């Protein structure tokens, strides 16, 4: 079973790897690494429903904005399609709807998310929405920290936010 693995890339890492897991013996095999094509700290990856495209967050950290990057998957290789800013800090999660026409990425440090349209893997920014508020744990919840996005269906999704201690439903 082949799958892509995203890593933090500051310490001797190639960023994105393609590995094969042999279920019969429990062993992993490195098939390819993509250091040249990887953004900084590609800590979360997702594919479209047809496994034709790979999408990655790129955590740069302030003062540099985060990015989302798209690739076409082609015979154990990645070909970069394009890259868009998340317009926020430290994107940590993203998801693609089942029609493969929208992607949403959440930014942990800035407590917001960005929505993108998809056309054959190409990402195009639509809008950014920010959360406001805090919660009871002043050490970890003094400001919004969006950390997860999950589609309910093609047009609706949930954003989980640790900082405001809420799960919020949005529509495209």
Q: What is the mean pLDDT of the chain?
A: 94
| 58-115 residue pLDDT tens | 987 666 789 999 999 999 999 999 999 999 999 999 999 999 999 999 999 999 999 9
- How far, in Å, CA of 86 to CA of 21, rounded? 32
**pLDDT (0 to 100) of residue 60:** 75
Domain ranges of the chain: 2-171
| Of 167 and 63, more confident | 167
**pTM (predicted TM-score):** 0.93
Q: DSSP letter at 135?
A: -
Among candidate residues 103, 124, 101, 99, the one with its CA nearest the CA of residue 113 = 103
| 47 class by beta-carbon count within 10 Å (0-12 exposed, 13-18 middle, 19+ buried) | middle
Q: Which CATH class is domain 2-171?
A: mainly beta
- C-alpha torsion sign, points 131, 137, 138, 140: negative
- How far, in Å, CA of 109 to CA of 87, rounded? 11
- How far, in Å, CA of 151 to CA of 148, rounded? 10
**pLDDT (0 to 100) of residue 11:** 79
For residue 138, name the pLDDT band (cuts at 50, 70, 90): confident
Is the pLDDT at 172 greater than 70? The verdict is: yes
**pLDDT (0 to 100) of residue 140:** 86
| 156-165 residue pLDDT tens | 999 999 999 9
Is the pLDDT at 46 greater than 90? The verdict is: yes
């Amino acid at each position: 079973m082949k799958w892509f693995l995203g890593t933090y890339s500051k310490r001797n890492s190639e960023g994105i790897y393609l590995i094969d897991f042999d279920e019969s013996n429990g062993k992993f095999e490195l098939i390819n690494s993509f250091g040249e094509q990887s953004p900084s700290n590609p800590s979360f990856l997702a594919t479209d429903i047809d496994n034709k495209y790979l999408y990655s967050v790129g955590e740069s950290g302030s003062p540099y904005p985060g990015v989302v990057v798209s690739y076409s998957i082609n015979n154990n290789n990645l070909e970069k399609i394009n890259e868009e800013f998340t317009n926020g800090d430290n994107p940590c999660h993203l998801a693609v709807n089942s029609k493969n026409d929208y992607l949403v990425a959440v930014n942990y440090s800035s407590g917001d998310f960005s929505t993108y349209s998809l056309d054959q893997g190409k990402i195009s920014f639509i809008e950014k929405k920010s959360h406001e508020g805090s919660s009871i744990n002043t050490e970890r919840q003094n400001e919004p920290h969006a950390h997860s996005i999950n589609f309910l269906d093609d047009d609706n999704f949930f954003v989980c936010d640790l900082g405001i201690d809420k799960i919020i439903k949005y529509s495209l």
